[in-house]
Amino acid sequence: MERYGSDLVVDLLQEYGFEYAALNPGSSFRGLHDSIVNYGGNRPEIIECPHEEIAVAIAHGYARVRRRPMAAILHDVVGLLHGSMAIYYAYLDRCPVLVLGATGPMDPSRRRTHIDWIHTAVAQSSAVRDFTKWDHQPVGAEDVVDSFARAYRIATTEPQGPVYLCYDAAFQEDPLPRPPTIPPPAEVTPTRLAGEGSAVEQLAGWLVQARNPVLVADSAGRHPDAFRALVELSELLALPVMDRGARLNFPTAHPLNLTGADDLLQDCDLLLAVDVRDLHGAISRVDRVARRTHRVLPDGCRIAEIGLGDLGIRSWSEEFEKLQPVHLSILGDSAVVLADLLVRCRQRLGANRPPELETRAARLERRHREVREAGRRQALESAEAEPIATAHLVHEIGEAIRGTDWVLAANTVHGWARRLWDFDHPDRHPGKSLGTATQIGMSLGVALAHRGSERLVVDIQPDGDLMFDVAALWVATHHRIPLLVVMYDNRSYYNDWEHQVLIARQRGRDESQAWVGMEIDRPAPDYAGLARAFGWYAEGPIEKPKDVRPAVCRAREVVLGEGRPALVDVVTQFR
């Protein structure tokens, strides 16, 4: 068989272990498409998508679970522009996504009239250069191999993120005289970044001596080793942990999980932040009307941080957030640094654990129970409310999936899932939801990563988010991706509705008009009908609180028993 340039790209994808490539078809990569199907035997498996944004979001969700890249292939200029928002969110979320693009032949003599011209850009990657870790448009076979290996290394090295490679259509379709040698992944992958020993030793001393320390974590749980190390460190030092939720960092039912007990910060003498990008936000409270923040930590409180600092910082977006000065900043991979810190704290404590740590642990456990019981009480007290209360919805879903090996894909519904469910290990939840028009695609990616595992992947799906990408429902049916979707259907873009109420109230104007331009009603979309039209099992709209759990149980059995997606539309209160 004669080999072509695009066959080389497939060789690279296979050598580097790519299972899937999500795409919406496009002629600029027709060579690569053929190579995947006919040369590679559909390896990586093509995940056909109705929109490039969905393709990138699926790769993003997959990467959250597997902690390694999935490929998304985008058609020249227009496909790249369609997918750019999802690429930006992968960048914000520090997720490794390999975006492969193509351009109409760079040699003008080989371009078709009109279409190849308007779909070719001189520097196509400039459209996403400000929110990718690296981009390249290789020239020749050797450069294709080198740039792919480099892109893989850059995407997977902390801080991880999306990369973009753009292939000339002519190179893809031309015969390949002699393919170059492909370096294996092990030969281009560096070790992880350790923290400076003296700084870790200093932090260990501070932690052992502190009377009221608090640990705040945000994305450390992307590495299971960090999740486990946080549990061990917390138990060793009677150290309360507050989880900000970019990833699942700490078991929710653990007695030292004090997420939501913000009063602890007021008496804190040492705050340790682990992979917290918005540290200023973590120690501040916001006046939403005045758009002002104020610090809640007491004067004299030491602040230490472990994380990746300003590695990978870019200038275009203000995503790096407000600078927060700290007393000690340890640059390193949190999983590696925490393991070292744990050893040093154990050495300092020795064999005899001070009795004050036992006293502190008991006090914190009582506070943990208070926080958890308050959440359960609120859920039970709202059980008869109509429209269905948010807390009751989450409680009933939790009861319906109890006893299964479940995964929550993204949305925690204003934190209710974490307050009511037992997230006991890091695989339960790959991280909280991001901006609107991201969740259904990311949830499909999470479910794809778990396809064949017999785990029940659950997406509590906001209606406004699904309105952006409702065609994504087709992907789940076509590719038999088992996913249980329960609609959080408050028939509004409520986040912005609430802002309009705040502004009207501040200005002394009519709050009752906040619905204008915000409602998803009149008519209310029939999400169950839409899902059935795409081949899903679906029920709803569910409007009675007593009907939620039976409907979710029936849908659960379809997903687990038949291996196909199911949707339950539940009409809810705003929050």
Q: In this predicted structure, what is the pLDDT of residue 37?
A: 98
Alpha carbon 344 to chain centroid distance?
32
Q: In this predicted structure, what is the pLDDT of residue 172?
A: 97
Q: In this predicted structure, what is the pLDDT of residue 26?
A: 95
Among 418, 407, 413, 412, CA closest to 445: 407
Q: In this predicted structure, what is the pLDDT of residue 233?
A: 98
Q: In this predicted structure, what is the pLDDT of residue 366?
A: 97
Q: In this predicted structure, what is the pLDDT of residue 432?
A: 94
The average pLDDT across 210-227 equals: 97
**Which residue did the predictor score with more confidence, 69 or 319?**
69
Q: Are 404 and 560 in contact (CB under 8 A)?
A: yes
Q: Hey, where are the domains in the chain?
A: 5-187, 197-369, 382-571
Q: In this predicted structure, what is the pLDDT of residue 411?
A: 94
Among 329-333, 337-341, 432-436, name the one with the lowest average pLDDT.
Answer: 432-436
Among 92-101, 197-206, 309-318, 445-454, name the one with the lowest average pLDDT.
Answer: 309-318
Q: Which residues contact 225 (CB under 8 A, 6 or more apart)?
A: 335, 338, 339
Q: In this predicted structure, what is the pLDDT of residue 521?
A: 94
Task: Give the DSSP H/E element, type plus range, for residue 302.
Answer: strand 302-307
The mean pLDDT of the chain is 95
Q: Fill in the DSSP letter of residue 13.
A: H
Among 158, 275, 159, CA closest to 215: 275
Q: Are 214 and 244 in contact (CB under 8 A)?
A: no
Q: Is the pLDDT of residue 326 over 80?
A: yes
CA distances from 84 to 21, 59, 130, 174, 528 (A): 17, 13, 11, 29, 30
CA distance 332 to 335: 9
CA distance 392 to 382: 6
Q: Which residues contact 252 (CB under 8 A, 6 or more apart)?
A: 243, 259, 418, 419, 421, 422, 423, 424
Q: In this predicted structure, what is the pLDDT of residue 291?
A: 81
> What is the fold, at CATH topology level, of the domain defined by 197-369?
Rossmann fold (3.40.50)
The average pLDDT across 71-80 equals: 96
The average pLDDT across 511-539 equals: 95
Q: Which residues contact 141 (CB under 8 A, 6 or more apart)?
A: 5, 8, 176, 178, 179, 180
pLDDT tens-digit readout, 359-375: 999 999 999 999 999 99
Q: Which residues contact 442 (CB under 8 A, 6 or more apart)?
A: 57, 58, 60, 61, 64, 409, 410, 433, 434
Q: Is the pTM of this model over 0.75?
A: yes
3-state secondary structure 472-526: HHHHHHHCCCCCEEEEEECCECHHHHHHHHHHHHHHCCCHHHCCCCCECCCCCCC
Measure the CA angle with vertex 214, ends 332 and 224; round to 5°: 45
Q: Is the pLDDT of residue 163 over 90?
A: yes
The average pLDDT across 35-61 equals: 98
The average pLDDT across 141-149 equals: 97
SS3 349: helix
Task: Lay out the sheet containing 566-571: strands in order across.
Answer: 406-408, 456-462, 484-489, 566-571, 537-542
Q: In this predicted structure, what is the pLDDT of residue 1?
A: 78
Q: In this predicted structure, what is the pLDDT of residue 290?
A: 77
Q: In this predicted structure, what is the pLDDT of residue 529?
A: 98
CA distance 24 to 47: 9
Among 425, 460, 484, 439, CA closest to 60: 439
Q: Are 195 and 331 in contact (CB under 8 A)?
A: yes
Helix axis angle, 334-349 relative to 197-209, nearest 10°? 50
The average pLDDT across 15-28 equals: 97
Q: Is the pLDDT of residue 287 over 90?
A: no
Domain 5-187 annotated CATH 3.40.50.970: yes
The average pLDDT across 206-235 equals: 97
Q: Is the pLDDT of residue 289 over 80?
A: no
Confidence of residue 138 (pLDDT cuts 50, 70, 90): very high
Among 226, 216, 182, CA closest to 426: 226
Q: Is the pLDDT of residue 436 over 90?
A: no
Q: In this predicted structure, what is the pLDDT of residue 574?
A: 85
Q: Are 167 and 32 in contact (CB under 8 A)?
A: yes
Judge if 197-369 and 382-571 fold alike in CATH terms.
Answer: yes
Q: In this predicted structure, what is the pLDDT of residue 389?
A: 96
CATH of domain 382-571: 3.40.50.970
CA distances from 8 to 138, 173, 497 (A): 13, 11, 51
Residue type, position 543, single letter: E
The average pLDDT across 401-411 equals: 97
R_g over Cα of the chain:
25
| Rounded percentage of the chain residues whose pLDDT exceeds 70 | 100
Q: In this predicted structure, what is the pLDDT of residue 169?
A: 95
